[in-house]
Structure 1
Amino acid sequence: MVTASRERAWRVAAEVPDPELPMLTLADLGVLHGVEVTPDGTVVARLTPTYAGCPAVAEMRAEVAVRLRAAGFADVRVITALDPPWTTDRITDEGRRKLREHGIAPPGPRTAPGSAPGHRTWLSLGTAPADVPCPRCSSADTEELSRFAATACTALRRCRACLEPFPHVKDLP
């Protein structure tokens, strides 16, 4: 019974869209870190935001709680968990596909399951990755225009082949 409730609660919470990237659900983005149902029936959902100062975390927490209560779960707690920290490896393959479909370059390749996240030195050195393909024409000939775009986790790039600007979700190991 608790397992079925947990799976149903997960499905409900997993469908909440990200407020800043609404083409993605919290599950696609890897922000939904876990959902448990305690023996007394309390649903506890854990969210790990993309970074500690994420301005959308309050909205995400509220929307998860609203949807879980609307699905019939009376006692709901939504907590923010910063440990372990979120990484771009948590973005699902489906999430990466949705980003590309919406003209946003996803971060670099996901780390193989079970292995440690890759070391991406450009973050610490302040330089951008050179190999970010254009989500519109797939050209690898792109350049960074600005380290920050509409959200703190994106950079603004331009394709030299099709000349279109596009956001890129920065790699965070």
Structure 2
Amino acid sequence: MSTREGARALSRARERAAEAAARVRDPEMPMLTLADLGVLRAVEIERDARGDETVIVSITPTYTGCPAMATMRDDLVHRLNDAGFPRVEVRVVLSPPWSTDWISERGRAALREAGLSAPGPAPRPAGPVPLTLGPARPAPPCPRCGSAATRLTSEFGATACKALYRCTGCLEPFEHVKEI
């Protein structure tokens, strides 16, 4: 096989691996893929001196200590093994830190369709971040009826990255993915 053919084969393999990795679902919010959530950072293939290929997948946790990282890693390894890649390494990349701004538009739509309030733009103050003990952001609109009349009921939902709200219009509770 020529060098050019080898490079094309490696490129095709990387594309197949990236497509397989992009289909892995988030274990805490299964309506999202890791790609839609924005935690899937890169998929590369490295070839060692013997010509053996290893798929290297880079992911970023949504927050420090995220308990879903081990499941994400295992799901990526299994999905890639099933796609014909026997050697897989998952690397955790912490810089830059994940932001809710990385959630795709398709991911935001999937959150809304599942009855979750999708996050707005993450706050990015210039200079030092001011410490405030009051509500940092306006309450999100209700994902069910669209009312702006909502109130926070708990800063923590089923996972630490969500907060619980109640709509005072339709009276339904809902989870909101926090802006980070």
TM above 0.5, yes or no, is yes
Q: In structure 2, what is the Cα distance between the partners aligned to 1:160 and 1:87?
A: 29
**Structure 2 match to 1:7:** 15
Counterpart of 2:84 in structure 1: which amino acid? G
1:17-32 to 2 correspondence within 5 Å?
17-32=25-40
Equivalent of 1:83 in 71, 82, 95: 95
For the pair 1:48 / 2:57, whether they are aligned, the reply is: no
For the pair 1:149 / 2:157, whether they are aligned, the reply is: yes
Counterpart of 1:83 in structure 2: which amino acid? S
Q: Percent identity?
A: 53
Give the Å deviation of 1:94: 0.4
The 1:43/1:124 distance shift into structure 2, 3 A limit, reads farther
Give the Å deviation of 1:27: 0.7
**Structure 1 match to 2:169:** 161
Give the Å deviation of 1:125: 2.4
Runs of 5+ in structure 1 lacking a partner?
111-116
* SS, match of residue 47 in structure 2: coil
The 1:123/1:154 distance shift into structure 2, 3 A limit, reads farther
Give the Å deviation of 1:123: 9.0
Aligned Cα RMSD in Å? 2.0
* Contact in 2 for aligned 1:36/1:45 (Cα 8 Å): yes
**Structure 2 match to 1:125:** 132
Counterpart of 1:33 in structure 2: which amino acid? R
* Contact in 2 for aligned 1:2/1:37 (Cα 8 Å): yes
Counterpart of 1:136 in structure 2: which amino acid? R
CA displacement, residues 110-153 of structure 1 (integer Å, 9 cap, x when unaligned):
7xxxxxx7339999524242141111011111111111110000
Q: In structure 2, what is the Cα distance between the partners aligned to 1:34 and 1:27?
A: 10
Alignment coverage as a number of residue pairs: 166
Give the Å deviation of 1:6: 1.3
Moved over 4 A (4+): 120-124
